[in-house]
A = this chain, B = another copy of it.
Amino acid sequence: MSAMGNATNVFWHECAVGKLERQKLINQQGCVVWITGLSGSGKSTLACSLNRELHARGKLSYVLDGDNVRHGLNKNLGFSPEDRTENIRRVGEVAKLFAEAGLICIASLISPYRKDRDACRAMLTDANFIEVFMNMPLKVCEERDSKGLYKLARAGKIKGFTGIDDPYEPPLNCEIKIEQKNGVCPTPCDMAVQVVSYLDVNGFLHA
């Protein structure tokens, strides 16, 4: 136990059972798969199919969905720039805890700003922040409009909507890009397999 920084009455407690021991127990390596992209780009679809595919291989994963978290941990946050940043910071901190617990944590958030995503990357000390960019054309996302939000944004009924009147900053150095091939979108399975392959090759599926 040691005192830390300026917070002289907040100590750090170490436990004998750490990340390595947990990883051995469940034969995998904790990490964060961070899925970013426009609304309608397929983030939740990939998160679900990836979760399913990992489970089928006996791996323990958990989806942190940006929308779902706003009903719990982040229900006291709105959509101001500060609140959006805090929304992403909290999800990043929780994803880090899940990775520390040994899980493959799948975070699915629009997370439009590079600095917010990079702040989450910087929380993870190892190379276990895996950024997945859903590189789908706005046109495709807007045509899907599964939640009807683009329509509202175009009508001016939602302000500051990413891709319409608020920017999306694509990653500069993401680990994985999900894209159309010859104008065709990959299937949920295609996308999951692409991410699972990355995890496999990089040793995350074994302790």
Interface residues of A (CB under 8 A from B): 1, 3-4, 7, 9-13, 15-17, 21-22, 25-26, 44, 47-48, 51-52, 55, 58, 60-65, 67-68, 70-73, 76, 86, 90, 93-94, 96-98, 100-103, 108, 123, 146-147, 149, 152, 158
A58: B residues at CB distance < 8 A: 25
A23 to B94, CA, bound (A): 20
Can you give 14 contacting A-B residue pairs, CB < 8 Å?
Answer: A3-B147, A9-B149, A11-B67, A11-B147, A12-B68, A13-B65, A13-B108, A17-B48, A25-B58, A25-B60, A60-B60, A73-B90, A98-B101, A101-B103
| Interface of A, helix, strand, loop or mixed by DSSP | mixed
Q: How many identical subunits does the complex contain?
A: 2
A70 touches B7 (CB 8 A): yes
A89 to B177, CA, bound (A): 36
- Neighbour of A147 across the interface among B9, B25, B76, B108, CB < 8 A: B9
Q: How far is the CB of A112 from chain B (nearest CB, A)?
A: 15
A16: B residues at CB distance < 8 A: 48, 51-52
- Neighbour of A73 across the interface among B9, B13, B60, B94, CB < 8 A: B94
A48: B residues at CB distance < 8 A: 13, 15-17
B71 touches A1 (CB 8 A): no
A51: B residues at CB distance < 8 A: 15-17
